[in-house]
Chains A and B, each alone.
Chain A
Amino acid sequence: MIAVEENPQNVQQADIVVAIPTFNEASTIGRAVEIVGRGLREHYPDRSSVIINCDNHSVDGTREAFFQAPVDVPRLYLSTEPTRRGKGANLLMLMEKITALDAQAVLVLEADITNVTPVWVRLFIEPIFRGAAYVTPLYVRHKYESTLTSTLVYPMLRCLYGRRVRQPDAGDCAFRADMASTFLGAPAWSEAVEGTGIDVWMGTVALTSRAPVWQTLIGSPKRHRAKDPFAHLAARFRNVLAAMFDQMAAYADFWKRVKWSKPTALFNLDGREMDNPPLVEINAVRLHQRFVEGFQENEALWRGVLDPAAMNKLDEIRRMPYEQFTFPSQTWAAVLFDAACAYRRSAPEERLRLLDSLMPLYMGKVVSFVKRTERMSVQQAEDHVEETCAIFEEYKPYLVDRWPS
């Protein structure tokens, strides 16, 4: 898996590993390395550490920028083969390397976070030294940031695996180093996981490993280099759902026994450096149009997959004018549960078509979420997300009853 390894300082052991997965991040990785290096020196001066760049054979000088960053922390560079892409592929190399480093704690941080500060290293790593096995961040988010998480990933993972991990696919995480072997041995690795499904996949492995999962309050939003949030939505949506549905098959014996949900332990609750999240604007009219158009393309497929009651409800929703549009969470849960069962029954070549067909329905759910919460504060919108999760949990027996054995 590791096609290229450069270890100029001959690092053989490190208590703390900070991994930065990249593909063509020459313009951002230098700053990330510098900040992380300062964080390690300020907060863990007595522990050995290494920063690892897990790269997809970038051609823009990422590797050079990584080594040139002015930091006195040892560095190690790993790369996949030129043809192998995806954050999942990057992290698979990391897992292999960690097992050889006798490490204790691992932090995975994306390269293009523009507001990362040295204290983030402590916020992610400290829970590991206090007993956590897997740590996800709680970034400050605008109510319309990461609607895929709020309307789909969080309610599904919570009702399936029973832990309230609010941002399981945030892109950054920390884990106890011995979890690397758990990840390496976990089922349902796929092309989707090698791409953008990796965050959901790792979160699910951690949740089913019975190891303690914590959340850490970062107290800031996660600011990326400017990019269009919808630019890669189709691929991300497909990969996330494929990873989730594949893992549902692998962990059916686990999630069928989960009833309701529990909170996780939290870190940095006394941290009060709350920063306002950047405004996120959504063109709900356009999304509504995509929802309606989705019927023309996918109605026949949906009728073969969804329960007639859910299909009737979708018909009703389609006829609603935009002004009165609402997509009830019960119907949304039924759609996702039916789709998960259909995915399980489908031949592999039919699955992508099924996943893609769900995209317009997701857009309809986002329209409903936006309309319902447009006059709400962030906290009120958060309460609405919690209500959605409670509906998914109440409705879970529907899934358990229908799940193909």
Chain B
Amino acid sequence: MAKILVVDDEEHIRLLYSEELRDAGYEVITADSGYKLLERIEQEKPDLVILDIKMVDYDGLDLLQDIRSRFYDLPVILSTAYDTFKEDSKSIAADYYVVKSFDLTELKKKIAMALETHLPG
């Protein structure tokens, strides 16, 4: 069972994602901020991270760079309320991005693709 770490400072999003993704067969763990995120990833070894871009105390795009430089191939899906962040070049370090919605069809599709991605070696 793939383990997904959801990082979002909005409780209702964490709850929504947790319930829906558990129902879809994933193990879900959550974090309400970017505090010690890299250490958490090191300890929990998630297979994929869903990362909110705009959190009260953290910029998800900066966190994404930190994740990329330490965990080169860990799949990261950016989750955001707006799609204007795509104009920030930092976003291209993400595997995928989704605009937040109560319908998680798109998110689930991107999770499946990110987990299926295979590069030899």
Contacts and interface: CB of A to CB of B under 8 A. Distances in A.
Interface of B: 65, 68-69, 72-73, 75, 86-87, 89-90, 92-95, 113-114, 116-121
A258 B94 contact: no
11 contacts: A138-B89, A161-B119, A162-B117, A166-B92, A259-B116, A260-B118, A262-B73, A262-B119, A263-B94, A265-B93, A266-B90
A254 B121 CA distance: 9
B121 A263 contact: no
A266 B92 contact: yes
B119 A258 contact: yes
A383 B73 CA distance: 23
Given A163-B119, A262-B73, A265-B72, 8 more contacts: A217-B89, A254-B120, A258-B118, A261-B117, A263-B94, A266-B65, A269-B90, A379-B87
B68 A266 contact: yes
Given A265-B68, A265-B72, A260 B117 contact: yes
B121 A210 contact: yes
Interface in A180-225: 210, 212, 217
A164 interface: yes
Interface string A163-180: 110100000000000000
A210 B116 contact: no
A259 B117 contact: yes
Main secondary structure of the interface of B (DSSP, over half): helix
A391 to B, nearest CB: 13
B119 A269 contact: no
A257 interface: yes
A163 B116 CA distance: 14
Contacts of B116: 259-260
Q: Which 5 A-B pairs have the closest CB atoms?
A: A210-B121, A260-B117, A162-B119, A259-B118, A257-B120
Contact of A269 (B65, B113, B121): B65
A138 B91 CA distance: 14
A166 B113 CA distance: 20
B95 A263 contact: yes
Contacts of A261: 117
Given A262-B95, A269-B90, A379-B86, A257 B69 contact: no
